[in-house]
Structure 1
Amino acid sequence: MPVTLADIRAAARRIRSGIPVTPCPESIPLSDLTGAQVFCKLDNFQRTGSFKERGARNALLRLPAAQRSRGVIAASAGNHALGLAYHGQLLGIPVTVVMPDYAPLIKVATCEKLGARVLVEGVDFAAARAAADVLVEREGLAYVHGFDDPDIIAGQGTMALEILRQVPDADAIVAPIGGAGLIAGLAIAAKALKPDIQVIGVESKATASFSAALKNDGPITIPRRATLADGLAVLRVGANAFELARPLLDQVVAVSEEWIALAILRYLELEKTIVEGAAAAPLGALLAGQLPELQGKRVVLAVCGGNIDPTTLSRVIERGLVADGRLGRLTVTISDRPGGLEALSRVIAKAGASVRDIAHDRAFSGPDVSEVRAVCTVETRDAAHLKDLRRALKKAGFPVAK
């Protein structure tokens, strides 16, 4: 079904009373880091932490009165479920959500707190959707698709209306792609209002369903793979969203998990904001140098969500530090006699690094019982500093195992 600028403008009027206009400030540190003039559209500031509220409220308000009383259901990894649960509660519409088993625990718990009936079913979105379809038939619920429903797409497109009011001279909008509902809505509105603006989509390499659809000339199911960007873990892009977005997108790139982790770390350190993996993907593409044509351009990053599980965040921070060269692990053979560890520590300290953790591996250190392998986790300033430390250890007679 077509979605037009008129639909998106109507959605903006419809949801205005329940959806705040989120800020879109310029980020000086991210601009310095990437070489583009970067603005961050902070939709992680929505009440439930993501842009999904826009489409959810629009779709709920479009329901006939009789259906509002029966309620709605959706399969979702989390953010669509949160948006439906919150606005269903505000509007008095019963909401049931079916989540696949990889949904972050924080999203499951929050949905329940917002009054939704939550069912965790299936190993992927397709299995969760199948479970939801059973309840559609059994209970007369309306299924609200998280990224392929025209009302959802129109609601997500309201973000572009705000962006172009806040940054009217923007050269590009870079947004993540999962099921493609957000990128479709953004592209429809942005291209209608400013035809020369670039709209660029960023996927996780682990879940590149839009790129697979482009190669296949239509949506195709891809294998499930683990990703930090659980919000992008859609195995089959929406057919409607794909057809709407395909002719409007200037480029689609896929970013690795390491760059997503590093982008989460950069947002935390430089922008003092917590983002989930999906929201970090656009910055990850810039950091990875995958969009060199945006150097010197005014670029808006769609920071679409901040619902990352705290336990996952701690692991991601460490992965980001490793990718940044600020956390390293070295295996060094030292003397197992008194003073061996002290000598190693002196070299590390003199190089300006810090030991976070150290363990002795005696059982697998070789035939010389006077030697032991020391497995050291060290903190350094950056990748160059870590290389300098390796050279200093080698010069001091402590070769580092590869």
Structure 2
Amino acid sequence: MNTDRLPTREGVQSAARSIAAILPPTPLLPVEIAGVSCLVKAESLQPIGAFKIRGGWWRLSNLTEQEKARGVVAVSSGNHAQGVAWAARRLGIEAAIVMPRDAPRVKLEATKALGAELVLYERPGEDRDEVAAREVERRGAVLVHAFGDPWVIEGQGSAGIEIAEQMGRQPSRIVACCGGGGLAAGLALACPDSTIQLVEPQGWDMVGRALAAGEVVRVGEDPPATICDALRPDATKPINLAVLRDRAEPGVTVTDAEVRDAQRFAFARLRLALEPGGAAALAAALAGKVPLDADTVIMLTGGNTDPSDFAGMLAEG
């Protein structure tokens, strides 16, 4: 992992220009919540179904020719996996993705279909970073971390540049689904005048706890179950914490029931199918856990959900 470089706003702006050259902007849609009209950013409509395509593209397109020849290794439950695999295929780079064996099948199959090699590990039971380190050493490859890499952070932040261009100004508040903090850190750099509101699954608020403690905090030995498989890193990284300190508002968590309500709301009101982790920010807004105004933007970060699970969830509602 790159520890000799910090992400910058200039880097985010460069990433935004690079991504704009290959991908159309995702829509910024109006929505009314509790009588307040605000906006949602539909990153679930990216070619891979998630915002992670941004960080994957910017990181891989910044590899040297020598690094490209060595190939890349990434660790992901599915969305970063697809982002890296998509960029690797477009750039002609070999990619191996370390994924949990219990990742949603739709994500496993989509990553493989993009041409990446899958390296599966047991969750819980195996340390995914240790598995990735072994693969990097064995292959001589470059590690593309899901959230603790400066180029990945800059790439994710391109969504914030896009939002500001679509609105003609920076939003007052961006409500973001948060796993390891890569998107949140990128948005903080992209929109320095915006409040960054983090939303994490209940019991998995590793970034929020780290901000409160002033240092990286790891999840406990017996963390609670969560349907938000995309938002389950064991801990954030110092690089993310450095960017988010004094910029993000921690302390907002959502339950599985609130996430399910958000998925049903998005399908009924916006005609969007969201995966649980991609609906966390919307869940917090619907539950009244974050303040909203006309310049608030809520990130809808992913739509890679198993069809049968999604249908069952809708039927339960």
Which residue of 2 is the match for residue 2 of structure 1? Answer: 6
Alignment partner, residue 204 of structure 1: 201
Where do residues 3-402 of structure 1 align in structure 2 (5 Å cutoff)?
3-27=7-31, 31=32, 33-124=33-124, 127-169=127-169, 170-191=171-192, 195=193, 197-223=194-220, 224-291=223-290, 293-294=291-292, 296-319=293-316, 321=317
Task: State whether residues 39 and 294 of structure 2, in contact with CA within 8 Å, keep that contact through their aligned partners in structure 1.
Answer: no
Count of residues in correspondence between the two structures: 310
Q: Give, in angstroms, the shift of residue 238 of structure 1.
A: 2.2
Contact 2:212 2:250 (C-alpha < 8 Å) held by counterparts: no
Give the 4+ runs in structure 1 shifted more than 3 A.
Answer: none
CA deviations on 1:20-46 (whole Å, 9 max, x unpaired) are 21111212xxx1x32322211111111
Distance in 2 of aligned mates of 1:316 and 1:215: 34
Could you say what secondary structure the match of 1:118 adopts? strand
Q: Report the alpha carbon displacement of residue 257 of structure 1 after superposing the two structures with TM.
A: 1.1
CA 1:36–1:20: 2 relative to 1, 3 Å? same
Q: Distance in 1 between matches of 2:314 and 2:234?
A: 26
CA distance in 1, matches of 2:282, 2:298: 7
Cα distance in 2 for residues equivalent to 1:83 and 1:57: 7
SS at 1:47 equivalent: coil
* Cα displacement string for residues 208-253 of structure 1 (whole angstroms, at most 9, x for unaligned residues): 1112213432112103432121111112112211221122114441
Counterpart residue number, 1:396: none
Tell me how far apart the structure 1 counterparts of residues 47 and 287 of structure 2 sit (CA, whole Å): 31
Q: CA deviation at 1:127?
A: 1.6
Q: Any conservation in 2 of the 1:19–1:54 contact (CA below 8 Å)?
A: no
Contact kept, 8 Å, 2:158 with 2:186, in 1: the verdict is yes
Give the distance between the partners of 2:110 and 2:224, measured in 1 at CA: 25
Q: RCO higher in 1 or 2 (8 Å CA, sep ≥ 6)?
A: 2
Aligned 8 A contact 1:184 1:244 in 2: yes
Q: Provide TM-score, normalisation by structure 2.
A: 0.93
Larger radius of gyration: 1
Question: For residues 246 and 267 of structure 1, what CA distance do their matches in structure 2 show?
Answer: 31
Give TM-score scaled by structure 1 length: 0.74
Percent of aligned positions that are identical: 31
Of 251-260 and 87-96, more deviation after overlay is shown by 251-260
Residue type at the aligned position of 1:285? A
Tell me the C-alpha RMSD between the 2 structures: 1.7
Q: Which runs of 5+ in 1 are unaligned?
A: 322-402
CA contact (8 A) 1:125 1:235 kept: no
Q: Give the Cα separation in 2 of the matches to 1:172 and 1:70.
A: 41
Q: In the aligned structure 1, how far is the partner of 2:107 from the partner of 2:209? A: 28
Superimposed CA distance per residue, residues 295-334 of structure 1 (whole angstroms, 9 cap, x where no aligned partner): x432111111100112321343345x2xxxxxxxxxxxxx
Instruction: Output the CA distance in 1 between the equivalents of 2:313 and 2:208.
Output: 25
State the alpha-carbon separation in 2 of the partners of residues 221 and 122 from structure 1.
Answer: 19
| Structure 1 letter corresponding to 2:191 | A
Q: 1:70 to 1:2 in 2, by over 3 A?
A: closer
Which runs of no fewer than 5 residues in structure 2 stay unpaired?
A: none
